Structure 1
Amino acid sequence: MLYLFIVWIGPKLMKNRRPFDLTWLMIPYNLAMAALNAYIVVRLLTASFRLRYSYICEPCRQRYDPDELQITEAVWWYYFSKLLEFCDTFFFILRKKNEQLTFLHVYHHSTMFSFWWIGIKWVPSGTTFLPAMVNSAIHVMMYTYYGLSVFGPRVSQYLWWKKYLTILQLIQFTCALVLAVNGIRTGCEFPLWMHYVLIVYMISFIVLFGNFYMKAYIAKV
C-alpha cells in the first residue's frame, strides 16, 4: 500500500521540480542487482542439483538439511530483491520518466513482492525454487542491460538484445503456466489454491507482457 501511495503522490510532488540526475546511483544499483540475482541463481542451482530436485513437481518438505536451508535462504534473498526492485519505480519518479509508470510496471512490482511474501512464508523450498531461479537468471541479463544503458548512446547502440529479454519473460510465464496446470492434473503435493492463483497470475502476465511486446516491437515494424 505504501508503494502504491508513493506511485500516486510521487509524480505530483515532482510536477514542478526539475528531474534528478541519478546516473551516479543507477549504475552501481543495476550492477549490484545483477550480482545479487546471479548469487541467487548459483545458490538455487547448486543446492537443487545436489538434492536431485524435480523440475516438474517437488513438494515442499520441512527439512533442515544444509542444502534445503540453502534453497530457503536463496528464496528469501529473491523475495528481498523484490523489495529492492521498488527502486526501479522510484528512479522513474525522481527522473520524471512518468511514461514508464505503466499499469504493467506497477502491477508487476507490487504483486510480485506480495506473492513472494506468501511463498517464503509457506513454501520456501520445493518447486518454489524453479521460478525464483529462472526469473533471477533473466534479471541478471535485464539489470546488466539497464546498467550498461545508463552510459548513453555510445554503449546503448550495442544493446540490441532488449526485446529478447521480453521474449524470455514470455517463455518463462508460459512454462510456469504449463507447470501449474500439470500440477493440478497430476496432483502435485503443493497447496492447490497456489496452483490456481499461479495460473491466473501467469495468464495476466502473458497478456500484459504480450501486449507490451506487440506495441514496442511489432507495431513499429
Structure 2
Amino acid sequence: MDFSQTIFFDVEQRFSKYNTQKWMNMWWTFCFYISAVYVVIVHWGQNLMTNRKKFYLRRPLFLWNLTLACFSAIGFYRVGGKFLDDLERYGWHQTICSLEWLEGQSGLWCALFGYSKVLELLDTSFIILRKQKLIFLHWYHHITVLCFCWYAYIYPHGQGRVFIVMNYFVHTIMYAYYAIRAQGLVRIPLAANIAITCLQLSQMVFGVATFVDAFLMLQTGVACNVEYMNILIGLGMYVSYAILFSRFFYLTYVKREKK
C-alpha cells in the first residue's frame, strides 16, 4: 500500500494556503498574547508546585511524546519527501527559493507545523508538574519558534521549508527518545543524551548557514523569495539558539565530565 496516497489524501490535495494565510494575517500577532500567558502560567505553576509533591505522570508523558513523535514523522515524510524530490529535479537554488511547496500536500503539513508550536507549549507543564529543572533555553525556544513560525507564514520565504524539514526530523527522533525514556523500562546510555543534543545543535548551525546563504544571494542580486527582515529575525533567532545549545552542551556534558 502506498502510504502517501492514503492518509488525509483528499484534504492534502485540496489544501490551499489562501485561507490559512488570510487567517494568519488577521491573527498572527495573537502568538504574542499566547506567549505572554504561557510565561505567566509557567511562573505561577512553579510557585504553585514549590511546596507540593511532584507528579510522576509516566503514562501521560509517554503518550504525549509518542503522539508528537508520530506527528513529526508524518510531517517529515510529507514535507521532506517533496523537498528531496524538488532538490533532485531542480537543484538547491530553485528548491530553496520557490514558494510552490506552500500548496497541496506539503502546504498542509507546513501549516500544521506552525499550529503545532502552540500545542508544544504543553511540554513545559510536564516539567513543572514533575518538579524538574526548567532552564531558560526551554521556554525561550518555545515562544520564539512559535512567534517566528506564525510571522513567517504571512511573510513566507523559500528557505522556510528547510527549517520545517529539519525540525520535523529532529523532533521525530527527540520525542521518540523522550517516549522511551518516559516508560522507564530501558536504561538509556549517556551517549544517547549527547547524540540528541548534538543533533539539535547541528540543526541550529545549519539554520545559521542557510540564512547566511540567503543573505549572500540577495547581496549578489540572485532572485529568491526571501526578504531582509526574514533573514534578520531568523538569523538572530538561530544564532541565539546555537549559543544557548552550545552552552547547554558544555555545562551538561563537558563541565560535568571534568568534575
Q: TM-score, normalised by structure 1?
A: 0.88
Residue in structure 1 matching 2:196, options 165, 169, 178: 165
1:119 counterpart = 2:152: yes
Task: Give the aligned residue type for 1:156.
Answer: R
Unaligned segments of structure 1, at least 5 residues: none
Name which one, 1 or 2, has greater alpha-carbon Rg. 2
Deviations 1:117-164 (A, max 9, x none): 1122321x7321111111111111111111011122x41335731211
Q: TM-score, normalised by structure 2?
A: 0.76
Residue in structure 2 matching 1:86, options 107, 111, 121: 121
Partner residue in 2 for 1:134: 166
Q: Which moved more, 1:208-217 or 1:21-30?
A: 21-30
Query: How much is the aligned-residue C-alpha RMSD, in angstroms?
Result: 2.0
**C-alpha distance in 2 between matches for 1:208 and 1:35:** 27
**C-alpha distance in 2 between matches for 1:53 and 1:45:** 15
Task: Give the aligned residue type for 1:165.
Answer: I
**C-alpha distance in 1 between matches for 2:190 and 2:247:** 22
Partner residue in 2 for 1:220: 256
1:108 counterpart = 2:137: no
* Contact 2:59 2:182 (8 Å CA) reproduced: no
Aligned residues with identical type, % of pairs: 29
**C-alpha distance in 1 between matches for 2:192 and 2:119:** 24
* Contact 1:148 1:156 (8 Å CA) reproduced: no
Deviations 1:87-139 (A, max 9, x none): 11011111122x2x11111101111111111122321x732111111111111
1:193 counterpart = 2:244: no
Unaligned segments of structure 2, at least 5 residues: 1-35, 219-223
Partner residue in 2 for 1:6: 41
For the residue of structure 1 that corresponds to 2:97, the secondary structure is coil
For the residue of structure 2 that corresponds to 1:161, the secondary structure is helix
1:59 counterpart = 2:97: yes
For the residue of structure 2 that corresponds to 1:157, the secondary structure is coil
Q: Which moved more, 1:26-35 or 1:182-191?
A: 182-191
Specify which structure has the higher proportion of helix.
2
Shift in Å, 1:54:
4.8
Residues 122 and 69 (structure 1), Cα distance of their counterparts in 2 relative to 1, 3 Å cut: farther
For the residue of structure 2 that corresponds to 1:217, the secondary structure is helix
Shift in Å, 1:47:
2.4
**C-alpha distance in 1 between matches for 2:92 and 2:203:** 13
* Aligned pairs, number: 214
For the residue of structure 2 that corresponds to 1:96, the secondary structure is coil
* Contact 1:56 1:179 (8 Å CA) reproduced: no
* Contact 2:144 2:237 (8 Å CA) reproduced: no
